[in-house]
Amino acid sequence: MDLYGSKERFDIFPEEPSGRGDRSLGDTRRESAPSSEKVQRPQEVGYDLEKEVAELAKMYGLDEDREKELELLGGRLEKVESRWPPARTEKAGLQGSLYNRSKSSSSVKDPSQSTKQQGLPDEASQGENQSKARADDEAESSTWSRGGLSSGGMSDEWNSQAVSEEEVEEEEEEEEAADVFCSTCKIPIRAFDKLFGEHKDHEVAQLPSAVESEKEEIHKNMCKLEEQIAQMENVASHLEEIFITVEENFGRQEQNFEVHYNDAVQVLAQKYEEQLEALGEEKRQKLEALYEQLVSCGKHLDTCKELTDETQELFLENDKVEFMKVKKFLKQEVNLELSTLPDFEERTIDVSEVEQLMNSINAIPAPCAPVINPQAPNAATGTSLRVCWGLFSDDTVECYQLCYQPVKHTLKVKETYCTITDLLPNTQYEFWVSALNASGISPPSERAVYVTAPSPPIIKNKKIQSCENAALVCWESRDINPVDSYTVELSKLTDEENDDIITESIVGIPNCEVLIHLQPTQKYYICVRAQNLGGSSERSEPVLIHTTGTCFYLNEDTAHPLLAILDDGFTISCDELENPECDLPVYDNSFTRCIAILGSLIPFPGRHYWEVEVEEDTEYRVGVAFENTPRHGHLGANNSSWCMRHIITPSRHKYEFLHSGMTPDIRITVPPRRIGILLDYENCRLSFFNADIAQHLHTFNSHFQHYVHPCFALETPGILRIHTGITTPPWTALP
C-alpha cells in the first residue's frame, strides 16, 4: 500500500491553505506543465536529500533501513521534495522518512497483508488508487507552482503558504496531549514519541498509573520530610537548651572570676599595707637612732671646742698643774661609729596566698545539682535497687555522692548510676545525689522515692482446691507493706523435658487467691509472683495440682474439740465422746454438740466426687452442708445439711439419709466400707454409693442455692479416711 497516496498522509503533510483562485491557477498550469520538470527539480532546488536522510537515520537509529530509503530517493520521494521547500524542519524530514519507510515496506509485501498489519479497514484499501491519484495531482500542481512561478508575487505567496502550513502543524503537535510516561526521562510523552521518536528505547508506563506512583512517592517523601522536620525541631530544641546552659554557665563563670579577682586584689592590698607599715616602722627606728647619735655628737663637739679654748688659755698661762688635768681629759675616748646604717633590709613578700587565689581563678566551678531519675519499671529486686541520675550541664564532675534513707547511708560513685544491695523487700527508700569536684560539692538533687520488689509469696498447700477443670489457689504475702498485684504462672507437666516452660500467666490479681480454669486429667506446676512499682518478685515455691478429680482440705476452725486431724490432713479420729478436762482450743466457728468438721467450700460448678473410708463398727455422718449450718446441732437435722448416717442397733446396721430430720425407709443389705459421694450442682443432686460394689444407695434432689462444704462427723470413737482427687467413676451416672 502506498502510504503517500493514502488519506493518512494528510496528517503528516497538511494541505496548503491556498485560496480558491490559486487552486484554479494551479489546475490550469498543471495541465500545461512540461513532462521534464521532475528531472530539472533537483538542480533548481539545490537540496541534498540523501545527506539529510542519512543524518536522520543516524540520529533516530534507522540505519538498518537506510538502503531502502536510498532506493526510494529517486522515486516517490521526489514528490515529497517537490511539495516541501528546502528549509524544512528536522521533524518534517523525519516524518517523510518514516512514511517513505512504510511505503517501501508496503511495496514489497502484499497490499492486503499491509492493510491488515496497519489495521486499516477494507474500504480504505479499495479507495487507495483514488487517493493516490489525487495526491499525484496535488504534487504536480505544487511542482508547477514552484518551477513556473519562481519569481514575482506567486512565488512569495507560495512561500507564505508553506510557512503557514509549518506553523499550523507545530501548533497541532503542541496541542496534542501526552498519553504515556517515560520512566527513563521522568516526563510525560506521546505514544508516537515512544514508537518513532527519541524515547524509542526508553521504558514507559501508563500515565494514570505513573501519576499514582508519583503521588505515592511524593507522599513518602512528605513523610520523610515530616520526620526530618521533627528531628530538626528536636535538634533545635536541644540546641536551645544548650544555648541557655552555655549562657548560665558563662554567667556563673564570670561571677566566679569576679569573686576570685576581688579576693586577690583584696589580699594584695592587705599585703601592701602590711609591708608599707613595716617599712615605715623601720624608717622611724632608724631616724630616731640617728637623731640620738647626732645629738650626742653635737654635745661632744661643743665639749671639744670648750676644751680647745681652755687648753689654749692654759698653755698661754703656763700653768702646769691645770695643763696636766686637761691632758688627762683628752685621754677619754669618744664613740664615733654610726648607730644604724642607712640601708634597709631586703624584705621577702609572701604572695603564696595570692598565687593560690590566682590559680583558683582557672579552676572549674562547683557543679550544679544533679537531676535524679524516677524509678524505671523492673529496675529492682527484693534486695537491690538501681538508681540513675544525670547532670544537665557541662560542669566537670569527679564523683557523685549518693545518699538514701530511712537509715541514712552515703556512697561515692564515679558513674551516673548505682546498684544498691542488701535492702529490705517491698520497702520504700528515699534517694538524693550531689556532684563533687575540686572546687566543692553541688547542692543536692530533689529527692526521689524508690521501692524494692516484694518477697516471693507463700502458697498454702493445705488450702488448695481443685476439680477436673479448675483450681482455687491461695497464698499469703511475706511482706509487711501491701503489694500492687500478683501474677500466677502455670507450667503443664508433660513427658518431655521442658516441664518448666510457662504455658500461661494470669496477671493483675488483686487478692491472695485466684480461681484458675484448667484442662482435665493434667498435672500443673503453679507459682505465684508479687508485683509492685519496683518490679516482680521471685517465683514462689511451686505446687503440684492434679485435675483428675475434686480436691479440698479440712477446715480445722470448724472441728469439734474432741475431733483430731491426723498428719496426712485427710484422716479424722475421735478417741472418746466426753472429756470434762478437755482444754483443746474452741473456735467461734467450731461445732459444739456434733463431733463434726467441715471441708473447704467447693466453689466449682459441675460434678464433684470423693470417697470416705469407714470402719464397720463406727457410727458416723457424711454429706454436705451450707456455710451457715448451725454449729450447735447435728448434721442432717436441719434444712442446711444433707448427710448419710450409720448407726448400730442390736439387730442390724441402720443407714439413714437425713435432711431436715427426715429420712426415707431404705434398707442396705451390704454394709459399705467405702462410700462414694457425688455432688452434681447442675442437676441439683447429691448421691451416695457403695464404691466397693458400685451400688447406688440414695440421691437427694435439692436445689442448692449456694455452694456447699463436705461434712464429716463421728458419733462413736473411730476413724474416717477421706479420699479426694478421684476421677468420677462411670457407674455414678444416673438416668
CB 47, CB 81: distance < 8 Å = yes
| CATH class of the domain whose range is 371-451 | mainly beta
Gap between the Cα atoms of 710 and 724, Å rounded = 11
Angle ∠(696,467,483) on CA atoms, nearest 5? 155
Residues 556-567, mean pLDDT to the nearest whole number: 91
Q: 3-class DSSP state for residue 196?
A: helix
| CATH class of the domain whose range is 554-732 | mainly beta
From the list 614, 636, 632, 613, the residue with the least C-alpha distance to 624 is 636
Gap between the Cα atoms of 451 and 161, Å rounded = 98
Q: What would the pLDDT profile of 228-257 be if each residue is shown by its tens digit?
A: 898 888 788 777 767 776 777 677 777 777
The sheet with strand 607-613 has its strands ordered as 564-565, 571-574, 718-723, 607-613, 674-680, 685-690, 695-701
- 544: its cell numbers: 503440684
CB 423, CB 452: distance < 8 Å = yes
pLDDT at 705: 86
CB 516, CB 473: distance < 8 Å = yes
Burial grade of 37 (CB within 10 A; 0-12, 13-18, 19 or more): middle
Gap between the Cα atoms of 723 and 673, Å rounded = 13
CB 562, CB 579: distance < 8 Å = yes
pLDDT at 173: 53
The overall average pLDDT reported for the chain is 75
Distances (CA, A) of 227 to 224, 239, 726: 5, 18, 65
For the chain, what are the domain ranges?
9-176, 177-313, 371-451, 458-546, 554-732
From the list 99, 42, 90, the residue with the least C-alpha distance to 65 is 99
The answer to whether residue 643 scores a pLDDT higher than 90 is yes
CB 206, CB 196: distance < 8 Å = no
Q: What percent of the chain has pLDDT over 70?
A: 67
What's 141's DSSP letter? H
From the list 437, 99, 439, 495, the residue with the least C-alpha distance to 256 is 439
Buried b (16+ CB within 10 A) or exposed e, 191-227: eebbebeebeeeebeeeeebeeeeeeeeeeeeeeeee
Which residue stretches of 318-339 are H helix?
Answer: 320-330
CB 620, CB 718: distance < 8 Å = yes
Gap between the Cα atoms of 381 and 390, Å rounded = 23
From the list 646, 625, 627, the residue with the least C-alpha distance to 636 is 625
Considering only residues 691 and 67, tell me which one the structure prediction assigns the higher pLDDT: 691
Gap between the Cα atoms of 600 and 630, Å rounded = 16
Angle ∠(403,409,412) on CA atoms, nearest 5? 60
Q: What would the pLDDT profile of 497-554 be if each residue is shown by its tens digit?
A: 555 677 788 999 999 999 999 988 888 999 999 999 888 999 999 999 989 889 999 9
Q: What would the pLDDT profile of 578-627 be if each residue is shown by its tens digit?
A: 764 455 566 788 998 899 999 999 998 889 999 999 998 999 999 999 99
Residues 416-424, mean pLDDT to the nearest whole number: 91
Q: How many residues does the chain have?
A: 735
Gap between the Cα atoms of 492 and 498, Å rounded = 9
Buried b (16+ CB within 10 A) or exposed e, 333-360: eeeeeeeeeeeeeeeeeeeeebeebbee
Tell me the DSSP string of 348-410: ----HHHHHHHHHHTSPPPPPPPEEPPPPTT-B-SS-EEEEEE--S----SEEEEEEETTTEE
Distances (CA, A) of 230 to 6, 57, 223, 233, 240: 65, 55, 10, 5, 15
Residues pairing with 472 in the sheet: 465, 515
pLDDT at 585: 60
Gap between the Cα atoms of 272 and 279, Å rounded = 10
The answer to whether residue 431 scores a pLDDT higher than 50 is yes
- Residue entry with cell 470434762: 580
* HEC secondary structure over 7-57: CCHHHHCCCCCCCHHHHHHHHHHHHCCCCCHHHHHHHHHCCCHHHHHHHHH
Q: What would the pLDDT profile of 76-102 be if each residue is shown by its tens digit?
A: 444 444 444 444 444 444 444 434 444
| Phi-psi label, residue 378: left if phi above 0, alpha if psi -120 to 50, beta otherwise | left
pLDDT at 275: 82
Q: What would the pLDDT profile of 669-697 be if each residue is shown by its tens digit?
A: 889 999 999 999 999 999 999 999 999 99
- 633: its cell numbers: 446441732
- Residue entry with cell 544555648: 243
- Residue entry with cell 431404705: 666
Residue type, 174: E
| CATH class of the domain whose range is 458-546 | mainly beta
Q: What would the pLDDT profile of 254-301 be if each residue is shown by its tens digit?
A: 777 787 778 878 888 888 888 888 888 888 888 888 888 888 888 888
Q: 3-class DSSP state for residue 180?
A: strand
| 371-451 and 554-732 have identical folds | no
